[in-house]
Structure 1
């Protein structure tokens, strides 16, 4: 004999299904919370923009080693000059960039029990420029330096060794993005009010999320700092009254 669900079990199941369907509909419209007791609805609005980095910081870490300290120092001097020439050839001379020499370090490897060359000398040339396209292009030609015998090492002071591209003009975008995010939140609230045969009675509370600077192209292993092109994002949450 076929057993049919009783009416007492069927009605709660139908109510649960209807609730799940309604929740999916509201989330799709940016509605995050509805309070029937005090007649409010909370909605989120999102604004995004594409932006381009306006500052590049590029540390070139040079290393030379030899059992003779004077010979290691001479090799380092030649490498520093080769890097300066390389930057000038790539239009990153003193007129297009601020170039500083930092972090001169000499290590006696014999004191650490190393079996390699006794002396290791390191120095860093830091390029700081607003001409980010030139820095990006030059960074792709680093193998030319290696072919000239320049030994480069990576470090963690400025990231993974390549240029860091910075966007410094976020404040110029904030007013328009906040206005857009707020307008989109209101659109979601108005649509909910229309669908529920209600009217908005004004803003009860509003909060602005943090501005995010994200890589335009998001993929594993790609950081925001390594990309010239960025994506700006902000989310606002607004609670409206309903009547």
Structure 2
């Protein structure tokens, strides 16, 4: 073979070998980088049963008369009823700071015949008393006490209390820690099936905290027991 041709052939072989080797290292580097960047995104759930710490309750009481002349006496009667209700609340352990005594409102309605002549009048005094307290378990008994006034002829609208949980910030760190732990458990299960290992966290997104009455899909006002829930989305690195 011609020396020049042999040189060219050897040169080509060496170049080809060099390209092949460099291609292997480039390919291996890209493969390793791909493995290093492989990730799995999983969701971690945390739930906690809590009790409401604040209760709000209100009632209305009304007194009516058909005579305008009886309004002063009716107003005095309404004030007496108001005080009696407040006394019941205080006897059950509630303080002035927890009790909100509303104004006694007056309203009037006239009934007219076909000639627009007033044939009857109705004068109404309506009082409102509200209660905001942290003694959430004492509301039920005091409502029962107030209802006994109905037997005395009081016209009372005893509204359903509402219960709120206001200490979410106090349990957020613990719940987020639990959600992250549960997410890693889910990632480990995935990684085991895939033959890889779970590494560090690449990114994390916190979902909204939700509060619902225990056992309910929505609504968070009418039960003392509440369910707090949060779901986090966490992306983990996967390694060989």
Q: Give the TM-score, by structure 2 length.
A: 0.72
Equivalent residue in structure 2 for 1:177, among 158, 175, 178: 175
How many Å separate the matches in 2 of 1:117 and 1:88?
Answer: 37
Per-residue deviation, 1:226: 1.5
How many Å separate the matches in 2 of 1:93 and 1:217?
Answer: 33
Provide the residue aligned with 1:92 in structure 2: 94
* Closer/same/farther in 2, CA of residues 233 and 101 from structure 1, 3 Å limit: same
* Closer/same/farther in 2, CA of residues 140 and 117 from structure 1, 3 Å limit: farther
Is residue 72–residue 119 contact of structure 1 (8 Å, CA) maintained in 2? Answer: no
Residues 57-103 of structure 1: per-residue CA shift (max 9 Å, x gap): 11122222112322432332232122112213323243xx5212124
How many Å separate the matches in 1 of 2:119 and 2:46?
Answer: 57
Provide the residue aligned with 2:137 in structure 1: 133
What's the secondary structure of 2:215's corresponding residue? coil
Q: Which structure has the greater CA radius of gyration?
A: 2
Per-residue deviation, 1:42: 1.5
Provide the residue aligned with 2:3 in structure 1: none
| Structure 2 residue runs without a partner (length 5+) | 1-34
* Closer/same/farther in 2, CA of residues 116 and 146 from structure 1, 3 Å limit: farther
How many Å separate the matches in 2 of 1:238 and 1:112?
Answer: 71
RMSD of Structure 2 on Structure 1 (CA):
2.8
* Runs of 4 or more consecutive aligned structure 1 residues displaced over 6 Å after TM superposition: 111-116
How many Å separate the matches in 2 of 1:54 and 1:81?
Answer: 27
| Structure 1 residue runs without a partner (length 5+) | 1-35, 155-160
How many Å separate the matches in 1 of 2:121 and 2:196?
Answer: 80
Q: Which structure shows the bigger proportion of residues in helix conformation?
A: 2
Is residue 111–residue 119 contact of structure 2 (8 Å, CA) maintained in 1? Answer: no
Q: Give the TM-score, by structure 1 length.
A: 0.71
Is residue 111–residue 121 contact of structure 2 (8 Å, CA) maintained in 1? Answer: no
What's the secondary structure of 1:225's corresponding residue? coil
